Structure 1
């Protein structure tokens, strides 16, 4: 029964991660940490193993959802590769930060981070995207109504933000999409669907880097990963399918609500731990 539960967690993580561009770690890591106190197979779970295993799973979630979004023609490859220039090194730095962190501290910091992201999304309509300077990269997107939407960014700023995103990915095992998607929407003017699809592409690449780092440190439980991968793979495809049928605002509202609930729960668990 416990192994079936892991498969279900993988499916939920893959679906929500792909739907909102998070990567799924924001579900897997808290689930592993919470269940470690209630199930025999997960007893003794450490933040390092939870994060390392989560990042390995996100390779499959990222690949699965990216392939689905490629069919929908929503992935901005050039932007994703440029973001990876920052997120790759950032992920390695995050793995180093994760080495000696204890459980309660990890949960509190993780929860605060998630609540901060939800707050950013809450005030997003009151913030104006940065103006695209002459030397900045510009992109255009044609939505379902046939309207042409312009978005863009300064490469240096984008890489710097991606480095921070990668750092949180390696530290918390969340893929970084919970910060990258809001940044893409708020700062660069990305349409929500394009931001989610491109975020999953970047998460796929950065998860490979951070997973290798965690594997080298012995932070991956291969049995847990084996149970989580099938659900994460199919969930990645399911999330991309659902995303195609939701309006941009709906995606953002779902993301915000989920982050608030999970963030508060983690902070409480860390404080009372």
Structure 2
């Protein structure tokens, strides 16, 4: 049973993770997984299912707001979702066979890769929104969905760290639409991932009861944070959203690599 202090700390953690997740299209796990493992000292195989559960609620809360504003590209989301299911099932199996340190190291290296891509690839600042084009790059969105699912299960991050910049930079999807598409895909992939992870790892890699109790303490804060983020997202310049995004990734990457290397 969690103490009152632990419940408050988990609630605050969820609030912060949900705010970042809703604002940047990450689902919140890019904050939540490192905090649970590095801050609370939880095994990463326990942090991942907790994070996936939180991702469901954070993403769903934000998606409903983005849907009302007409930012969702429905065919794009459908394509990514179909392939994300395959990726997340495969990623769950790989994660179940991987040691904690290897997953932490992979988490940090992946974030470094995303930061390097942001610095080296020149892109225009996108301040607008757009309707979904009639002709879609189906192979590209399929591959993106698969990678989202794979990373979501393997690292518990939802896949938004990949989906948002790839849609925006390579597939020319406006940033706010890319964030909305990413979150809508995370709703499905995180749901499938959570169920699969509990089937594969419950009782061996982690305690299902402990995971559900911690998730119950985190989710209310996550939902509130995500709701607040989507309410204020239009008031923040896209340039500053990107700055926040990559500064957070840099800090998390360093700490996850350090922990994975045993420093």
TM-score normalised over the length of structure 1: 0.85
Aligned to 1:143: 128
What does 1:110-189 correspond to in 2, within 5 Å?
110-125=107-122, 143=128, 153-189=136-172
Match of 1:31 among 26, 29, 35: 35
Following superposition, the deviation at residue 87 of structure 1 comes to 1.0
d(CA) in 2 for partners of 1:124, 1:72: 30
Residues 121 and 252 in structure 1, CA contact (< 8 A), matched pair in contact too: no
1:13 aligns with 2:3: no
Aligned to 2:99: 102
Identify the range of structure 1 (263-272 vs 61-70) with the bigger mean alpha-carbon deviation.
263-272
Contact 1:152 1:188 in 2 (8 A): no
* Alpha-carbon shift at residue 200 of structure 1 (Å): 0.6
- 1:203 alignment partner, one of 172, 177, 186: 186
Secondary structure of 2:97 counterpart:
coil
CA-CA distance at 1:148 after TM superposition: 8.5
Aligned-pair distance for 1:52? 1.0
The change in CA–CA distance for 1:4 and 1:90 in structure 2 (over 3 A counts) is same
Contact 1:192 1:252 survives alignment (8 Å):
no
Distance 1:76 1:266, change over 3 A: same
Residue-by-residue CA offset, 1:227-270 (whole Å, 9 max, x unaligned): 00101111111121222212222222221111111111111122
- Do the aligned partners of 1:151 and 1:189 also contact (CA within 8 Å) in 2? no
Q: Which residue of 1 aligns with 2:176?
A: 193
Number of residue pairs aligned between Structure 1 and Structure 2: 251
Distance in 2, Cα, partners of 1:151 & 1:125:
26
Give the whole-Å Cα distance in 1 for the aligned partners of 2:192 and 2:235: 32
Q: Does the CA contact (< 8 Å) of 1:152 and 1:189 recur in 2?
A: no
CA distance in 2 between partners of 1:235 and 1:223 (Å): 19
CA–CA distance in 2 between the matches of 1:186 and 1:148?
17
Distance in 1 of aligned mates of 2:122 and 2:106: 26
User: Unaligned stretches of 5+ in structure 1?
Assistant: 38-44, 128-140
How far does residue 66 in structure 1 lie from its aligned partner after superposition? Answer: 0.5
Q: Could you say which residue in structure 1 is the equivalent of 2:229?
A: 239
Alignment of 1:83-102 (within 5 A): 83-102=80-99
Secondary structure of the corresponding residue to residue 261 of structure 2: helix
Within 2, Cα distance between the matches of 1:35 and 1:250? 27
Alignment of 1:223-238 (within 5 A): 223-238=213-228
Counterpart Cα distance in 2 of 1:126 and 1:83: 23
Task: State the 1:202 CA deviation.
Answer: 0.7
Higher helix share: 2
Segments of 5+ residues of structure 2 without an aligned counterpart are: none
